[in-house]
Amino acid sequence: MIRVTIWNEFRHEKQHQKVREIYPEGLHAPIADYLAKREMEVTTATLDEPEHGLTEEVLARTDVLIWWGHIAHHEVEDAIVERVKQRVLEGMGLIVLHSGHFSKIFKSLMGTSCDLKWREAGDKERLWVVNPGHPIVEGIGEYIELEREEMYGEYFDIPEPDELIMVSWFTGGEVFRSACTFTRGAGKIFYFRPGHETHPTYYNEQVLRIIANGVRWAKPTHVAKRNFGNAQPLEK
């Protein structure tokens, strides 16, 4: 059983009628439902809980953390961000969704601005697979289509990904590196673009499948302790 914690800012759902209609229990709910049916042990955490729901205990028993945030990135406490970052370096997997590109945790792990172009105009998005053997696209065809999504466009200010898995085409003429992986310390990171709060993207079977594949890919291996500091010679 992979132990997954889904973190959602959970503010749009409370503040905007349109979002609440799509995701009455929060956009983390359909993701949690899907994963829980696939031999994963799922818990959720949200911004307004004490310590944002990300206590030492919660993180210690999390194999993979999923992150969605948007309008309240600045409210996430730096100490919690640092706590999450240490767990990633030690091996916890991290999946960053959509507007999480601007979260403190993602920017801190990337070392760049993570900025991009965007447009809320209901563009069609087609995500093409450019790495067909990667386990994150297991069971996916050549591409997936989303009838309406927010547009994200290049230049996306991230480091060169370790692996580029999907590239998006948008009606308005833009492209985007939509599924990318990174390694930081012993931790695996997967950024996946779709998921604007005003579209029912997290009910899409293929989007959910990619998230589930991402969890399996990002789960920690049984990592050896990484030793640092002063070291005696191994040879005479």
Residues 19-78 that bind a copy of itself (CB under 8 A): none
48 vs 172, beta carbon nearer a copy of itself: 172
| Long-range CB contacts (within 8 A, 24+) of 26-35 | 27/68, 27/195, 27/197, 27/202, 28/66, 28/68, 30/202, 30/203, 30/208, 31/6, 31/66, 31/202, 31/208, 31/211, 32/6, 34/208, 34/211, 34/212, 35/4, 35/6, 35/211, 35/212, 35/215
Q: Does 184 bind a copy of itself (CB under 8 A)?
A: yes
Which of residues 175, 198, 203, 206 is near a copy of itself by CB under 8 A? 175
Out of 56, 57, 74, 233, the residue judged to bind a copy of itself by CB under 8 A: 233
Segment contacting a copy of itself (CB under 8 A): 6-14, 32-40, 57-65, 133-141?
133-141
Of 182, 191, 192, 202, the one binding a copy of itself by CB under 8 A = 182
Q: Does 162 bind a copy of itself (CB under 8 A)?
A: yes
DSSP lists the bridge partners of residue 135 as none
Element (H, E) at 209: helix 205-218
Helix (H, G, I), strand (E, B) or coil at 178: strand
User: Would you count residue 232 as binding a copy of itself (CB under 8 A)?
Assistant: yes
147 touches a copy of itself by CB under 8 A = no
Q: Rounded to the nearest whole angstrom, what is the least distance from the CB of residue 32 to a copy of itself in the complex?
A: 25
Cβ closest to a copy of itself, residue 3 vs residue 28: 3
Identity of the residue, 24 or 141, whose beta carbon is nearer to a copy of itself in the bound complex = 141
229 binds a copy of itself (CB under 8 A): yes
C-alpha distances in angstroms, 170 versus 98, 143, 164?
15, 13, 18
